[in-house]
Chain A
Amino acid sequence: MAIFADKSSKVLVQGATGHQGVFHIGAMKEFGTNVVAGVTPGKGGQEVEGVPIFNDVFDGVSETGANTSLILVPARFAKDAVFESLDAGIKTIVVITENIPFHDAMEFVHYSKYKGAVLIGPNCPGIASPGKTKIGILPGQIFKEGYVGVASRSGTLTYEIVNSLTEKGIGQSTCVGLGGDPIIGTTFIDSLNAFEKDSETKSIVLVGEIGGTAEEEAAEHIKEHISKPVYAFIAGRTAPPGKRMGHAGAIIARGKGTAESKIKAFEKAGVKVAKFPTDIADLIE
């Protein structure tokens, strides 16, 4: 098992023929991902790394049985791409694109719920279940099969943490990048629930950052509903209020969203919080 993505994921890539699309279709296939289709309007009939390209998602799904979509299209076309995927029956959608207007994200997050689909992102690196599949732009070489589930609001910081786990021989069941935007589809709580149910996951690592109250809500949820040990790292202890720290969602606004509040909430819930990102591996050992 794994969460959200495994051997049964048949991946369709929207925005397949651009530079990013071509590169990551190759990288995903190398990881073992079953990439079955690409979509770029007007480029149907072409191939990218041996993957057939279709003009629209409906054709891609009916020809290949794709059940998962990876969105790499530019921000202003992202809402359309997600809606198209949902209407074509796709049940898992990973949105990599950043700088999507919040109102667009709000609409497609609610539409995905209405359709009963899992939406990961936007502004995320994707998801990797080592030994099974990788849907997104995460670097394949840092992962190792194992029992730690990772959910994170950050990209590179996650790679750093996963890499340090792997170097210490600690493998991962699934690593999911939730995204750095204020409006995201899959939350810490969704990931915690999925990891709790997953027989392959023995412990859980959450990588949070300043902004919003997702970590505080996760801490409350852990107290009541999560039996597996949870570890955390929070970025932004030194971030000043009112400044967006690179991610659109990483902002302390009206006194809410500080690292202190998140660390305190986690510690109260019995979650061990690492001082340095590379220390998480020591906490788990």
Chain B
Amino acid sequence: MKLFEYRGKELFDKYGIAVPNGRLVKDINDFSGLNFPFVLKAQVPIGGRGKAGGIKSAENLKDAKEKFSKIMGMDIKGYTVRKVLAEEKVDIKKELYLSITLDRSKRMPLIMASVEGGMDIESVPDEKIFKEWVNPLIGIQPFHVRGIVSKLKLEKEDGKEVAKVISKIYKLFREYDCELVEINPLIIKKDGGVMALDSKVNINDDAMYRHTDIEPEIVELTPLEKDAKEKGIAFIQLDGNIGVIANGAGLTMATLDALTNYNGKGGVFLDLGGTDDPEKVKQAFSLMKKAKPKVIFLNLFGGITRCDTVAKGVKEVITKEGIDCPVITRIKGCNEDQAKDILKDAGLITGTTLQDAAQKSSDLAR
């Protein structure tokens, strides 16, 4: 779960990392207690908001009202701005980059730092990013911190302050099950000390159960995706017109891929998982219907899951609730013959192979 900037900063504050003076602003009359000049920042869970006009500085009250009205409600890459953070400006001596992510290959937290702060880290050349990996069994040690800080070549006092922040974000990263903690920029102030001007904190969804103090935010999902999530179905909306239902994430992806060989394009990824529970199959189909695909392609491989049980569920939904688009099926594995009979009986089109069914689906979707 990606936290909004202001919520990430609440966590920074909790861990003793300095952040600018500021707060959320509700409306154009809500600026009391803030000292000019300050910056108004759109709260969206995506990068590039500065370029999109989501960050503006305000010199006086009139200016602030005008700019607030522009930012609140604006659209940034598909996200409507509903929260605006106001923060007092700080005099900057130096901008640094600092982050901790999960290195999938080494299976360790990876600390990255650079003196090229304030810009997209993707555009910083590799030799200017300094890295340290921390084995989780030993945790962060002074040598890790020294390894990073010495390469940044900062003035002694500044280096000491940055070192403290590194240890603090490591603690936050581990204690809150983060996938990412990023401070870009981490600034060194003209009058001394360091401060986090931005925050990106991403918490592992599977660990949310042990962080009950973090209120869940489901802002990245479409209403149908949200509905599916509540029902425990893996459902993703894509930009094509063929709804794919398969069992297993890999098979569902491979089925979507197969369509492109016949100029078809998937509109929905729906993974039934290992279930053959008729109730779940029913829910899956009703979700799929709501996404209004032109064609539904059901691709099942029965391993432990029995194809005939799934087929029964499918038949029940279709005969009871009807369906207003063609359904192509391709069934393989455990009890496939019984399943094929059941689906034929329900009036569905069966493909012989994955290729055949993918072609039929793509042709019908044109």
Contacts and interface: CB of A to CB of B under 8 A. Distances in A.
Contacts, number: 162
Interface stretch (A43-51, A53-61, A136-144, A264-272): A136-144
A182 B137 contact: no
Contact of A214 (B104, B108, B304): B104
B337 to A, nearest CB: 14
Interface in B315-363: 332-334, 353-355
Given A238-B266, A245-B269, A142 B137 contact: no
Contacts of B105: 212-214, 217
Interface string B127-159: 000000001110000000000000000000000
B236 interface: yes
Contact of B333 (A27, A103, A138, A139): A139
Interface residues of B, number: 52
Contacts of B247: 156
B206 A100 contact: yes
Interface string A203-221: 0000101101110010000
Contacts of A31: none
A273 B105 CA distance: 22
A19 interface: no
A250 B251 contact: no
A77 to B, nearest CB: 12
Given A138-B303, A209-B250, A250-B249, A110 B209 contact: no
B364 interface: no
Contacts of A255: 122
Contact of B107 (A109, A158, A276): A109
Given A139-B333, A213-B105, A245 B207 contact: no
Contacts of B234: 246
B333 A245 contact: no
Interface in A150-187: 152-160, 163, 180, 182-184
Contacts of B279: none
6 contacts: A101-B210, A137-B304, A156-B301, A240-B239, A259-B257, A276-B261
Contact of B102 (A114, A154, A183): A183
A190 interface: no
A156 B248 contact: yes
Nearest to A153: B250
A235 B250 contact: yes
A180 B273 CA distance: 13
B206 A236 contact: no
A97 B355 CA distance: 32
Contacts of B179: 102
Interface string B174-198: 1001010000000000000000000
**Max chain B Cβ within 10 angstroms of own Cβ: one of A106, A157, A246:** A246
**Max chain B Cβ within 10 angstroms of own Cβ: one of A75, A103, A209, A235:** A103
Contact of B253 (A101, A104, A236, A248): A236
B241 interface: no
A100 B313 CA distance: 30
A249 B137 CA distance: 23
Interface in B106-125: 107-109, 122
A179 B350 CA distance: 31
A247 B107 contact: no
Interface in B202-230: 204, 206-207, 209-210
Contacts of A223: none
A156 B246 CA distance: 9
**Max chain A Cβ within 10 angstroms of own Cβ: one of B257, B259, B266, B302:** B257
Interface of A: 27, 75-76, 99-107, 109-111, 114, 137-139, 141-142, 152-160, 163, 180, 182-184, 207, 209-210, 212-214, 217, 233, 235-240, 243, 245-250, 254-255, 259, 275-278
B34 interface: no
A7 to B, nearest CB: 23
A11 to B, nearest CB: 18
B260 interface: yes
B28 interface: no
A159 B333 contact: yes
Given A138-B303, A278-B354, A102 B204 contact: yes
Nearest to A233: B254
A276 B258 contact: yes
Nearest to B176: A103
Contact of A207 (B122, B206, B250): B250
A101 to B, nearest CB: 4
Interface in B282-315: 301-304
A154 B249 contact: yes
A15 B252 CA distance: 29
